[in-house]
Structure 1
Amino acid sequence: MSDDDRAGRLMHGRPGLERGDPVALPLTMASMFHLPGDPAGAPGYGRVDNPVWEEVERQLSILEGAPALLFPSGMGAISAALMAGLKAGDRVLLPSDGYYTTRLLADRVLARFGVAAAYRPTARYGEGGFDGFAAVFVETPSNPGLDLCDLAAICAAVRAAGGVTLVDNTTMTPFGQRPLELGADVVVASDTKAPSGQSDVILGHLATRDAALFEAAKDWRKLSGAIPGPFEAWQLNRSLPTLEMRFARMCDSAEALAPRLAAHPAVRALRYPGLPDDPGHALARSQMARFGFLIGLTLKDRDTAERFIEAAGLTPATSFGGVHSSAECRARWGDDVPGGFVRLSVGCEPVADLSARIVAALDEIA
């Protein structure tokens, strides 16, 4: 299925509507359902069933090309993928330069259950092989440094070594990169970011074509109680049909901005996979449909970076993927980046105005 087909199916709305049915998805806020007699085959309890979840999971399944499960956050999806698939004595490989909360989960929770974690930088993820790892967790491009690794090669090597590959695709969305088609066993993502786009909901999802992994994650959600709220799911339902358009505009704008930023004297280093001289450019062209909407730029120091964010009128926030452009000094969270490193999330504003504001801010701090 092409991206146009996926976007079109999301735009078509809910299938099977009868005459007089509401076109918009009704919000079902219910903890209990009318359940006389044999409960089989009917919704029973709000921790297990909700028609809003089911519709959003149908949409996400269209996007991913695989059965999907909705969770209350991206970390909820990651936790389900790891906790449902690992057992005491297993080893898991994680990126040392990826989203830091995944590493904290391994250090503070998985270790207590006898799961040992090892770490490698994304750009050298394949070095050393994958023997002995029950699961290999991949994030490409890495967040926040935007390094890349070869997904197809890694997935094939992990499978040959007897492990499973889990890929965090938050930075790219299914319209920018399709890990399952490159050989991944499970894909997870934070729908708080671009899929929602409005910075007003926290959700995440997991998708897999492996029936056993899917059922294990679904069971984990039911038994742990890590369930999404119906209202949050309803909010995401409203945003998913416009994801393809928003993502395309954000990527177009980032591609236009990156060369201007790279050429500015105030910028000491710039990472964007779409630039021909970026270390990950060739790999990005081979495995990504777009180059993404995140740009990493390094300024003189953290004070300079903070002044730049303010002068450019960018939203200083610790998330990304909104319709509004935002930026953050990632060193403040302990990421292994220079103090002046800024993760810029390009939004949907008119690119001429956004570019003018950003360049003017760089001129001011130069």
Structure 2
Amino acid sequence: MTDLQQRAAEVAHIRRRHLAKGDPVPPPLTMAAMFHLPGEPGNFHQYGRSENPTWEAVEEMLSHLEDAEAVAFPSGMAAISAVLFGLLRAGDRVLLPSDAYYTPRVLAERFLKSFGVTTDLRPTASFMEGGFDGYRLVYVETPSNPGLDLCDLSAVTSAAHEAGALVVADNTTMTPYGQRPLEFRVDVVVSADTKAPNGHSDTLFGHVASNDPTIVAAVREWRKLSGSIPGPFEAWLVHRGLETLDVRFDRMCRTAETIAPRLSAHPAVRNIRFPGLPTDASHDLARTQMKRFGFLIGLTLASESAAERFINECALIQPATSFGGVHTSAERRARWGDAVAPGFVRLSVGCEPTEELWKALETALDGADQD
């Protein structure tokens, strides 16, 4: 049994370590702004902006999966913000991917710039070009969202550390079961647990994980002082979702690996990106640094109208932004301004039976190809 399999086997049993006879097996939902605190505060729960037992339960589970200390946040962007605002200072330079999730770029332009932090952009596929001299922080997202390009985590981390930079990796698309950036000496992992870790599209959540206690302390302090705290009910939902993540993620990845070659062969598909395809530009690197190939597939159809028909007319596609739910979902990413073709579709494979999902996708593609 591999270490990752062992962690998957143990994840639903973590709470058992703390149980006394008669205790509830699921974690209680602790809805508290105040805690009973007579006398000196000491090492007790004190105030709802600082700590909550339900957060701590989900942080323990995330820490187990990451094999590093994890800090919970109310969204993926809250986790990213904690890292950027907690670790950067005026005069620092940060390098962001130009083709990854767009909101960190907007955050940097709107707010970090005014605080004296300089931001540069670089495509994921050529992230090593230009080196990392002069940067305080290097931020990668691999596979990139939505284009699914990869960068070499080991090479980036080695070069960035030699230049004196911290490396932050957004692992939202892969989860700890699909890719483990900390094993490549990445300093910080951020993730939007809104996606597959929760898995049911009913709450926002995020986390930061690191083996550096100074970094963990900084993001915890940012959370406490900024008030960027998760709600206990949201934490409870994510705890429940994490118990089934291994099963759901495995089903989603297996289905994606099955249908990607079929999508590639369909005449309506002009181009496809999926790291699991041997023909994909990132396949060799994916085999080296990823545990799985993921559940996201990028499809380019002939036009905007063809893409919209495919999404809207497929009986087993939920038209929606975001990804990672139990239901297959899709959206045309150009509508948000991503630098992709008008007919590009980000397909997030869900947990439906594989062959039934393929039949629905094939039928919708057949209709989308009729102009």
Does the TM-score normalized on the shorter chain lie above 0.5? yes
User: Which residue does the alignment assign to 1:361?
Assistant: 364
Contact 2:167–2:187 under 8 Å retained in 1: yes
Contact 1:13–1:23 under 8 Å retained in 2: no
> How far apart are the structure 1 equivalents of 2:157 and 2:13?
34
Match of 1:41 among 32, 40, 43: 43
User: Which residue does the alignment assign to 1:2?
Assistant: 3
User: Which residue does the alignment assign to 2:95?
Assistant: 93
One-letter amino acid matched to 2:103 = T
User: Which residue does the alignment assign to 1:235?
Assistant: 237
User: Which residue does the alignment assign to 2:63?
Assistant: 61
Deviation at 1:364, TM superposition (A): 1.4
Match of 2:337 among 331, 334, 347: 334
> Following TM superposition, where does structure 1 have runs of at least 4 consecutive aligned residues deviating by more than 3 angstroms?
none
The CA RMSD measured in Å over matched residues stands at: 0.7
Matched residue SS, 2:176: coil
1:214-363 equivalence runs, <5 A: 214-313=216-315, 314-363=317-366
> How far apart are the structure 1 equivalents of 2:302 and 2:154?
37
Deviation at 1:16, TM superposition (A): 2.2
1:228-252 deviation line (CA, Å, top 9, x unaligned): 0000000111110110110000000
> How far apart are the structure 1 equivalents of 2:154 and 2:314?
39
1:298-345 deviation line (CA, Å, top 9, x unaligned): 001111100001121211111000000000000000000000000000
Contact 2:333–2:346 under 8 Å retained in 1: yes
One-letter amino acid matched to 1:162 = G
Deviation at 1:121, TM superposition (A): 0.3
User: Which residue does the alignment assign to 2:199?
Assistant: 197
> How far apart are the structure 1 equivalents of 2:22 and 2:314?
49
1:1-22 deviation line (CA, Å, top 9, x unaligned): 6221111111214012111111
User: Which residue does the alignment assign to 2:214?
Assistant: 212
Match of 2:124 among 116, 122, 125: 122
Match of 1:160 among 159, 162, 165: 162
Identical aligned residues as a percent: 61
Matched residue SS, 1:175: helix
> How far apart are the structure 1 equivalents of 2:88 and 2:110?
15
> How far apart are the structure 1 equivalents of 2:353 and 2:240?
23
Match of 2:135 among 122, 133, 136: 133
TM-score of the superposition, structure 1-length normalised?
0.99
> How far apart are the structure 1 equivalents of 2:152 and 2:29?
41
Contact 2:94–2:137 under 8 Å retained in 1: yes
> How far apart are the structure 1 equivalents of 2:314 and 2:356?
11
> How far apart are the structure 1 equivalents of 2:130 and 2:172?
26
Match of 1:181 among 167, 183, 194: 183
> How far apart are the structure 1 equivalents of 2:246 and 2:303?
36
1:276-310 deviation line (CA, Å, top 9, x unaligned): 01000000000000000000000011111000011
One-letter amino acid matched to 1:12 = H
Contact 1:324–1:349 under 8 Å retained in 2: yes
> How far apart are the structure 1 equivalents of 2:157 and 2:14?
34
Matched residue SS, 2:306: helix
> How far apart are the structure 2 equivalents of 1:16 and 1:307?
52
Contact 2:309–2:367 under 8 Å retained in 1: no
> How far apart are the structure 2 equivalents of 1:3 and 1:245?
13
> How far apart are the structure 1 equivalents of 2:230 and 2:115?
25
Deviates more, 1:13-22 or 1:65-74: 13-22
Matched residue SS, 2:18: coil
1:341-365 deviation line (CA, Å, top 9, x unaligned): 0000000000000000001111112
What is the total number of aligned residue pairs between the two structures? 366
Contact 2:100–2:144 under 8 Å retained in 1: yes
User: Which residue does the alignment assign to 1:146?
Assistant: 148
1:182-202 deviation line (CA, Å, top 9, x unaligned): 110000000000000000010
Matched residue SS, 1:342: strand
Deviates more, 1:81-90 or 1:6-15: 6-15
> How far apart are the structure 2 equivalents of 1:287 and 1:341?
26
One-letter amino acid matched to 1:174 = P
One-letter amino acid matched to 1:3 = L
Structure 2 runs not aligned, ≥5 long: none
